[in-house]
Amino acid sequence: MKIFIAQQNYHIGNFEANTAKIISAIREAKKQGGELIVFSELAVCGYPPRDFLEFNDFIEQSQAAIDKIKAEADTIGVLVGAPSRNPKPEGKDLFNSAYLLYEQEVKGIAHKTLLPNYDIFDEYRYFEPAYEWNVMEFKGIRMAVTICEDIWDMSPNPLYRIQPMDKLMEQMPNVMINLSASPFDYVHADGRISIVKQNAAKYNLPVIYCNTVGSQTEIIFDGGSLAMNRNQDLIVEMPYFEEALVAVNLRVDGSFDELPVRHAAQVPLAQLMPDELDDNLGIANIHRAIITSIRDYFSKMGFTKAIVASSGGIDSAVVLALACEALGPQNVRALLMPSQYSSTHSVSDAERLSKNLGSPYDIIAIEDIFKTFESSLDPVFKGLPFNVAEENLQSRIRGALVMALANKFNCILLNTSNKSELATGYGTLYGDMAGGLGVLGDLYKMQVYALARYINRTVEIIPLNIINKAPSAELRPGQKDSDSLPDYYTLDPILYQYIERRRGPKEIIAMGYDAALVARVLKMVNTNEYKRNQFCPIIRVSPKAFGIGRRVPIVGKYLS
């Protein structure tokens, strides 16, 4: 049987565009003699639809889209993900489902059993888990159809959790087909392949795995759809961060006509989650992921132009370079806003960066504006020393100016704060924390440097002086980040242990870190949750990002 895997980029709630894309792939597969085509989880409505699922009209539009797709499923079978209604009054109103369409009819529906409720996932809020499991027979092939998480939790204890594949194996399937929406992080691709390998080995079945691709605001899907034989050889590995349509030929005995592209010994057995922070790990994929995210955020929202507050520092330089690559340099504007505390090289470095990129830039000095504010505040501040109030005032002046240009020229402000700064609260609300999308908010400072070096891998785009100089907010004379924070090469590993590894203070201290330093760092993280709670969406590239995947109380006392 010639089976096509359709790895596509969907737009949540855009039923017209999603349906047209799905139908286009069906027609192409038919043209090439395809007998079955597989799409990803909730392809019809896009993933994750979240509270859109609570709107009856949303579900009706999804059902109407299934009817349109069904009309195309005449001589070819179609497996496609969409929500379906629960006919029973008990439980949630919806299932997360996979439809088998053929001969312009619905031939079968499989429902997702294991509904993830961790990190960025919140599926049990909307869906009822499956309560019956049936193999779908199609042209002599018995298909065990599962959805994403259904193959991830392989717990052997039936009293703890139902494993859908164990139920389906009772009906002697020939192949496992998984419709997925598995998000990117910089260690997840190996984990995904290893899970497929474990399933192929446990059930002695070939596996066809269809993942989605593209970005949905903060969540990125990297594709990497695949086919694996029962010997755990990789038959097809589809591209990452790209749409693709690929065919495999499956025989009734469960073997493939195609030769392996990677033998089982070359396929990873487990996901790599490093015990220590590795600044360079996955940096090429992080680069591609962020480019994908910026590009999709703008295209799906209908935006074309971005603006970046360019300081001459490493963070704004990396954001500007990424934005230019994603959107085209002509569509990315830089605003340089020097103060009396700015070094001369900050301006010249920022100018050189914009010239290297070929993107437009403007310079608006803030010294006079700052003095006007100081004068207005003098009756209240008189006799009080210069402190964080005046420092933050400069940042907020810059925020007001860059937002003025964003409004005037119809641009979206890209935020430049990194994960180290967001973790410790080293940023100004309504100032440098302003923006529509947090580009670097899931990268520690040392990872930002690694990304800058990667951007410069073939030619110097980011001036080396930006990479080599000590980081500074330049809000007072001679200021350095290290005046307020531990050096990043010391800070970042502690943050990684607390945020990604979820280790408490005693565990981190036992690893050899100074007790007083650990207490100081963790206190900064916890007391600044209120700032992060007001921050813009952050592009997620790590296994544990700030935002929807990390939910902690603002007023909690843990470690504070």
Q: Of residues 21, 70, 112, 445, which has the active-site annotation?
A: 112
CB 227 within 8 A of CB 209: yes
Q: For residue 148, indicate whether it is catalytic.
A: yes
Q: From 316, 304, 426, 303, select the one nearest 361 (Cα to Cα).
A: 316
Measured between alpha carbons, how far is 494 from 134 in angstroms, rounded to an integer?
Answer: 48
Spatial contact of 287 and 295, defined as CB atoms under 8 Å apart: no
Question: Which among 16, 130, 114, 34 is positioned nearest to 79, based on CA atoms?
Answer: 34
Single-letter code of the amino acid located at 146: T
Report the candidate in 137, 155, 58, 148 with the shortest Cα–Cα distance to residue 112.
Answer: 148
CA 281 – CA 93 distance, rounded (Å): 42
Nearest-angstrom CA–CA distance, 355 and 346: 14
State the pairing for strand pair 136-138/141-147.
antiparallel
User: Is residue 41 among the annotated active site residues?
Assistant: yes
**Using an 8 Å Cβ cutoff, are 364 and 428 in contact?**
no
Among 445, 424, 435, 539, residue whose Cα is nearest residue 186: 539
Say whether 45 is catalytic: no
User: How many whole angstroms separate alpha carbon 137 and alpha carbon 141?
Assistant: 6
Q: In sequence order, what are the residues at sequence separation of 6 or more whose Cβ sits closer than 8 angstroms to the Cβ of residue 378?
A: none
Token code pair at residue 296: 């999709």
Catalytic annotation, pick one of 35, 72, 123, 148: 148
Question: Which of 41, 391, 421, 529 is flagged as catalytic?
Answer: 41
The 3-class secondary structure across 206-252, one letter per residue, is CEEEEECEEEECCEEEEECCEEECCCCCEEEECCECCCEEEEEEECC
Q: Considering only CA atoms, which of 65, 92, 67 is closest in space to residue 11?
A: 65
Q: Which of 215, 254, 265, 224 is nearest to 442 (CA)?
A: 215
Q: What is the 3-state secondary structure (H, E, C) of 58-106?
A: HHHHHHHHHHHHHHHCCCCEEEEEEEEECCCCCCCCEEEEEEEEECCEE
- Which of the residues are catalytic? 41, 112, 148
